[in-house]
């Protein structure tokens, strides 16, 4: 499936930058963990380990670093759906094993992998960050039996709960966390306020070229993720920044024009979108079969006629459904 997700692109453009990644980790990882990580050895890896059918809701980045004086890795999983998935601990375990699979042949040993989850959905994270939470009856087992059952905890960064005072780091890190926190949760006027604050902050940078490059990344993200902006919003924004950041206002107008032209050519892309929707429908059916063992043909037909946003909601809630009647509600 071809993925065209603005959250995925923004996450990889920003957190994939070693300087931003280092700054984020320095400011948000617990000190006990940072104390054993040689942050200067942080090195991005090229591979992605996410299942193909889940890439619309997740993105990942893997970094190599010296951890406790040995080779280790930090694995960042970014969930960009509206609400948290209940099976994140299980998904992370699979991805961790995949990383180990690629490394065990070299030394016959497994490197340390620290799993981190970054979330920015509309609903706050309300799931315990452990694998044991998913294992039936785990908490009821005697302690000596629990020792025989695999369990682990991941570090969670729920950006939706960050206050302005809790957002730390260098300029680009702070802007990134702010916009990721609010892009799905607040109205367009609040998003423009963040853009205006970003303009002021970026002008503090000594490297003006880096600032302008990041501003373009930021505006591409806003235009892609928030199609509810109007011409009036756009012109008001340009008017506010053209005197203090003229190169930024020119960038906004250029990008806005490009997005308008893409919108005019939208009809050309309809066929492609339909193809992606069909692929998403097949994924939903596959997960329902895995969940309930059997899905009747009439339900499959109904699912295949749904639009992409509805299919996305069903896919997000697959593990929460008690029976197939709950799925039928989305079709009627």
Choose between 166 and 224: higher pLDDT: 166
pLDDT bracket for residue 237 (50, 70, 90): confident
Give the range with max mean pLDDT: 75-84, 154-163, 241-250, 279-288. 154-163
Rounded to 5°, the CA angle 121-122-124 comes to 80
User: What phi and psi, each to the nearest 5 degrees, are found at residue 59?
Assistant: -135, 160
pLDDT of residue 154: 96
DSSP SS3 for 99: helix
Residue 227 has pLDDT above 80, yes or no: no
* Mean pLDDT, residues 141-154: 95
pLDDT of residue 259: 63
Q: Say if CB 123 and CB 160 are below 8 A apart.
A: yes
Quick one: tokens of 226?
């928030």
Q: Say if CB 312 and CB 281 are below 8 A apart.
A: no
pLDDT of residue 64: 96
* Mean pLDDT, residues 93-104: 92
pLDDT bracket for residue 31 (50, 70, 90): very high
CA distance 1 to 169: 36
Strand-pair category, 155-158 with 70-79: unpaired
Long-range contacts of 210-216 (CB under 8 A, 24+ apart): 212/247, 212/248, 212/251, 214/172, 214/175, 215/248, 215/251, 216/251, 216/255
pLDDT of residue 22: 97
Tell whether the torsion through CA atoms of 312, 314, 318 and 320 is positive or negative.
positive
Distances, alpha carbon 293 to alpha carbons 154, 317, 323, in Å: 30, 17, 11
| Span of 4-18, 224-238, 260-274 with lowest mean pLDDT | 260-274
Q: What are the start-end ranges of the E strands in the chain?
A: 37-45, 58-67, 70-79, 112-119, 155-158
pLDDT of residue 268: 35
DSSP SS3 for 320: helix
Give 130-175 as a DSSP string.
BSGGGSTTGGGS-HHHHTTS---B-EEEEGGG--GGG--SSHHHHH
pLDDT tens digit sequence for 238-292: 888 888 888 888 888 777 766 655 554 443 344 334 555 777 788 788 778 767 7
Q: Say if CB 295 and CB 284 are below 8 A apart.
A: no
| Span of 10-19, 200-209, 288-297 with lowest mean pLDDT | 288-297
* Mean pLDDT, residues 178-194: 91
pLDDT bracket for residue 3 (50, 70, 90): very low
State the pTM of this model: 0.75
* Mean pLDDT, residues 189-216: 90
pLDDT of residue 257: 67
Average pLDDT, the chain: 86
pLDDT of residue 245: 85
Distances, alpha carbon 126 to alpha carbons 114, 158, 212, 274, 278, in Å: 21, 10, 37, 34, 31
Residue 14 has pLDDT above 50, yes or no: yes
Residue 39 has pLDDT above 90, yes or no: yes
Radius of gyration of the chain (CA): 22
């Amino acid at each position: 499936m071809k993925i065209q997700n603005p959250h995925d692109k923004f996450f990889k453009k920003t957190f994939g930058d070693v300087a931003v990644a280092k700054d984020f980790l320095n400011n948000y990882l617990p000190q006990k963990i940072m104390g054993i990580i040689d942050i200067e050895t942080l090195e991005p890896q090229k591979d992605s380990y996410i299942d193909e059918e889940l890439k619309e809701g997740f993105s990942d980045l893997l970094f190599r670093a010296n951890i406790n004086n040995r080779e280790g890795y930090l694995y960042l999983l970014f969930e960009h759906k509206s609400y948290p998935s209940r099976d994140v601990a299980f998904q992370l375990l699979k991805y961790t094993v995949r990383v180990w699979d690629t490394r065990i042949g070299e030394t016959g040993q497994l490197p340390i992998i620290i799993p981190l989850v970054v979330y920015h959905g509309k609903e706050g994270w309300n799931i315990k960050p452990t694998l044991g939470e998913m294992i039936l009856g785990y908490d009821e087992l005697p302690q000596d039996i629990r020792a025989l059952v695999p369990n682990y905890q991941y570090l969670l960064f729920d950006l939706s709960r960050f206050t302005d005072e809790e957002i730390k780091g260098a300029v680009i890190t702070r802007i990134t966390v702010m916009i990721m926190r609010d892009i799905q949760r607040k109205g367009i006027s609040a998003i423009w306020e963040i853009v205006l604050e970003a303009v002021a902050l970026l002008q503090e940078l000594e490297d003006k070229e880096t600032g302008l490059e990041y501003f373009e990344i930021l505006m591409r993200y806003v235009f892609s993720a928030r199609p509810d902006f109007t011409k009036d919003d756009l012109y008001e924004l340009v008017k506010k920044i053209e005197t203090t950041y003229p190169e930024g206002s020119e960038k906004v107008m250029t990008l806005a024009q490009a997005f308008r032209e893409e919108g005019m050519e939208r009809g050309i892309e309809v066929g492609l979108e339909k193809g992606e929707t069909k692929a998403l429908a097949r994924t939903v059916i596959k997960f329902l079969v895995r969940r309930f063992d059997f899905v009747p043909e009439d339900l499959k037909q109904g699912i295949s006629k749904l639009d992409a946003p509805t299919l996305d909601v069903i896919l997000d809630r697959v593990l929460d459904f008690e029976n197939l009647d709950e799925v039928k509600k989305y079709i009627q």
